[in-house]
Amino acid sequence: MNNIVLKAKDFESISRIALKEASQALSRMLNQEIKVVSSSVLMLSPLDLIDVLGRELPTEVVASYSEFKGMIEGIILMVIPLEHAANTAKSLIESLLGTTMLDEEMAIDLLKEIANIIFGSIASSMYNKYGLVIKYSVPKVVIDNFIAILDNIALMYVTKLEKVIVMNAEIIGGKGIHVKILIIPKERWLHQ
């Protein structure tokens, strides 16, 4: 890894640009106006992350996650309360296909695609703004409580780290849903 240093303010800029790109891509995909807007970007210690998000998130959540590699490495997660994820998937499938028939596989595929668009927009923004080349895996989806997801997916990274990035965002289209986008570095490339 190069001597790369990214700060919270860098991610505020990345977040604005990436979520604007994601809005445009989702709007094209769903043939309706979708906005993904950032409300805040936080840099938290792993213990604060567990404390803050453990209080803010309901018991069950849906997390789409990918591992990213390249000039920087880590895990990126998009976390949505389970109830909101199910309602959003149903609403989007209905508006896209004109049907209310929604099976679990269709909902998971839609959430993977939304995550893929958002993660791709973040990777693109990091390249365009800072010249960072990163590639990410195809998103996977898990349903569980937030602490269990964090424990199973990112514990190997979180225990070594001082800071994690949390992008608070809202996907607006039909009904607004709040999402948390977590960037968990594999090594220490985040700084205050």
- Span 59-71, pLDDT tens digits: 788 889 999 888 8
pTM, 2 dp: 0.82
Look at the chain and count its residues.
192
Report in angstroms the alpha-carbon separations of 190 from 49, 53, 72, 128, 164: 15, 19, 10, 18, 8
pLDDT in tens, 171-188: 776 566 778 888 877 766
Please give the Cα distance from 175 to 53 (Å, whole number): 22
Q: Are 166 and 53 in contact (CB under 8 A)?
A: yes
Q: What is the mean pLDDT of residues 122-135?
A: 88
The token duo for 145 is 């409580």
Strands 190-191 and 61-70: unpaired
SS3 of 24, please?
A: helix
Report in angstroms the alpha-carbon separations of 180 from 12, 23, 38, 59, 110: 14, 16, 10, 15, 17
Query: Regarding predicted confidence, which is higher, 183 or 119?
Result: 119
What residue segments make up the domains of the chain, in order of their start? 6-191
Q: What is the pLDDT of residue 106?
A: 75
* Identity at 175, one-letter amino acid code: K
Q: What is the pLDDT of residue 170?
A: 77
Q: What is the pLDDT of residue 66?
A: 92
Q: 1: pLDDT confidence band, cut at 50, 70 and 90?
A: very low
The rounded mean pLDDT for the chain is 78
Neighbouring CB atoms inside 10 A of 178's CB total: 15
Q: What is the pLDDT of residue 152?
A: 78
- CATH number for the 6-191 domain, one of 1.10.287.130, 2.40.260.10, 3.30.750.24, 3.40.1550.10? 3.40.1550.10
